[in-house]
Amino acid sequence: MRGVVSKAKRGRKNKGQTESPAPNTAAAPAAEAPKEKHKSRQSLSISKKDQDALAQQQDQTAASASRVGSSSAGSTSASTGSAGGGGYQGLPQVGSPPSALRELPALRDAPPNKREELFKLKLQLCGVIFSFDDPTSDKRGKDMKRQTLLELVDYVNTPAGQKIFTESVMSDLMAMVSANVCRALPPATDDFDPEEDEPVLEPAWPHLQVAYEFFLRFIVSSEVNAKAAKKYVDQRFCLQLVELFDSEDPRERDYLKTILHRIYGKFMSHRSFIRRAISNVFYRFVYETERHNGIGELLEILGSIINGFAIPLKKEHLQFLVRALIPLHKPKCVGLYHQQLSYCIIQYVEKDADTATPILNGFFRCWPWSCSGKQVLFLNELEEILELLGADQLNQISKTLFTNLARCLDSDHFQVVERALFLWNNEHLVNSGCLSRLNAQTVLPIIYGPLYKNSSGHWNATVEGLAQNVLKMYMEYDLVLYDQCTTAYFKEEEEAKKKIQAIADRWQEIEKMATDNRSQRMIAAA
């Protein structure tokens, strides 16, 4: 059974963080094994029987593997996993056959003219896919592959090793990476709660981690020619990376975040496609499933991307804001990624103040009136937006804004009221923003009622004190306006009491009529 873990333990990133340094696997620490208490999931590796059938169909793969020999094929059984290849050979690829497993000399010891061929052989060896359902099986093959992966990472970390990233090795390199990385994720369990349950860690992480690290070294290398590499790191491969963000393992999502961000920066021709792919993930999440593990990480990437948008914003960027980002406030699990989402929204307002109007309109349509915890989150975001709000935008949105603020001040939950009142502690909003003296004529008549109720006997002393301070501030701003609002409030209260009394009197009349009719029927029946 999965244990319960706090949100802080899940290691969510701070607002504004767009990229984290990748772990250094070149030091070769033993990768942490999945805990025994995690539910085991069926491996997605292809069986030996299916592997043989695929090997017959893949003449090219079999031909390249025949050079390596079959010295250790009998001692190690490994199944070949399906891997979505790129455009490098035009067809879906499979991992290397088990015959690729053999002892090979170290790259550092090989003559310079033989290193590229040896490098390719080692890539083929690392393309062998193992099943990790049974940790005790294929130990020799698993260890051989892991040590080879670590050797490759260590080698390409050197200036001489960087030179090996030529176009002639890219096909083999991407075949190896795809075989390890591009796989179908296991289906999520129905009762999984991302806010409370521990994630199911990837059992193949000892190999997967080093494969990610190796690919990251390839992507960030200055020796890699982007024009040549984009034929191998193609759109299909980028789409598979985006789909892998649904992995439950936070370690994998962290690598994916760094790698996809680097790909976005290196390959300009892929940028529009990557943004569309991320948009489609958001659409599916908001309008269909409301389940995805990597929304926060994708938003971290977008925070950096949005920061680089040119002004004026393109139409497609504005559409992305309205159709994808704003609706992300709707799902129940918005608290898991709200920091990253808020950062992206603020980036838009900083780029173009006019975006504040559609943002706030959509924001209040998504407002979680039935959930106090989410309302507090939204009020945090609202304060940041209001700090950037200009006079023109405020004129368009003022009635909606202040009406919703009044509803928050009238909330039954003291934390919502308290957080709303804290807006008046913001010096910018009070001195020159939407809550300042300039806007008192608009804001005070709308919020006076709930402010007065909270200031006169609210059970929470903090709420009562804050409400009194706000009323005092507006009274000092404009005493005439304050008196008008006071008079109007008590008049409305008196009218409301009269209406309530009139309704009660009418019900009494109806009850009296019903009683009289019942008595008459009883007399008539007797």
pLDDT at 50 over 70: no
The residue among 171 and 109 whose pLDDT is bigger is 171
pLDDT value for 387: 93
Residue 514's pLDDT band, with cuts at 50, 70 and 90, is very high
Nearest Cα neighbor of 107 from 39, 61, 153, 145 is 153
Nearest Cα neighbor of 410 from 468, 457, 449 is 449
Beta bridge partners of 4: 197
Residue 420's pLDDT band, with cuts at 50, 70 and 90, is very high
**pLDDT tens readout for residues 235-246:** 999 999 999 999
Q: Do the beta carbons of residue 405 and residue 385 sit within 8 Å?
A: no
Count Cβ atoms below 10 Å from residue 451 Cβ, excluding itself.
25
pLDDT at 252 over 70: yes
Residue 90's identity, in one-letter code, is: G
Q: Is 4 helix (H, G, I), strand (E, B) or coil?
A: strand
Query: How far apart, in Å, are the Cα atoms of 256 and each of 22, 208, 334, 505?
Result: 10, 12, 21, 68
Structure-token pair, residue 504: 């009660």
Q: Where are the domains of the chain?
A: 91-184+200-233, 234-351
Using CA atoms, how far apart are residues 457 and 444, in angstroms rounded to an integer?
20
DSSP letter for each residue of 108-142: GGS-GGGHHHHHHHHHHHHT-----SSTTTTHHHH
Q: What's the average model confidence in pLDDT over 158-172?
A: 89
Nearest Cα neighbor of 228 from 153, 173, 160 is 173
Q: Is 487 helix (H, G, I), strand (E, B) or coil?
A: helix
**pLDDT tens readout for residues 16-38:** 343 333 433 333 333 333 333 33
The residue among 39 and 50 whose pLDDT is bigger is 50
Using CA atoms, how far apart are residues 8 and 300, in angstroms rounded to an integer?
17
Using CA atoms, how far apart are residues 450 and 457, in angstroms rounded to an integer?
12
Q: Do the beta carbons of residue 354 and residue 312 sit within 8 Å?
A: no
Q: Do the beta carbons of residue 441 and residue 451 sit within 8 Å?
A: no
Residue 111: cis peptide before it, omega within 30 degrees of 0: no
Q: C-alpha 476: how far from its chain's center?
A: 45
Residue 94's pLDDT band, with cuts at 50, 70 and 90, is low
pTM for the structure as a whole: 0.75
Enumerate residues 6+ apart whose C-beta is below 8 A from 366.
326, 327, 329, 330
Using CA atoms, how far apart are residues 42 and 113, in angstroms rounded to an integer?
43
Long-range contacts of 353-358 (CB under 8 A, 24+ apart): 353/388, 353/389, 353/390, 353/392, 353/393, 354/392, 354/393, 355/313, 355/318, 355/321, 356/385, 356/388, 356/389, 356/390, 356/393, 356/397, 357/393, 357/396, 357/397, 358/321, 358/322, 358/326
Using CA atoms, how far apart are residues 375 and 132, in angstroms rounded to an integer?
44
pLDDT over 70, % of the chain: 81
- The torsion defined by the Cα of 74, 79, 83 and 85, in degrees rounded to 10, comes to 20
pLDDT value for 30: 35
Using CA atoms, how far apart are residues 173 and 160, in angstroms rounded to an integer?
17
Q: Which region among 57-71, 157-171, 200-214, 278-292 has the lowest average model confidence (pLDDT)?
A: 57-71
pLDDT value for 524: 85
Using CA atoms, how far apart are residues 46 and 54, in angstroms rounded to an integer?
10
- The single-letter DSSP state of residue 352 is -
Enumerate residues 6+ apart whose C-beta is below 8 A from 78.
98, 101, 128, 129, 130, 131, 138, 141
pLDDT at 74 over 90: no
Enumerate residues 6+ apart whose C-beta is below 8 A from 268.
none
Query: How far apart, in Å, are the Cα atoms of 302 and each of 24, 173, 320?
Result: 25, 28, 11
**pLDDT tens readout for residues 180-198:** 999 888 887 766 666 677 7
Structure-token pair, residue 233: 């790191």
pLDDT value for 342: 95
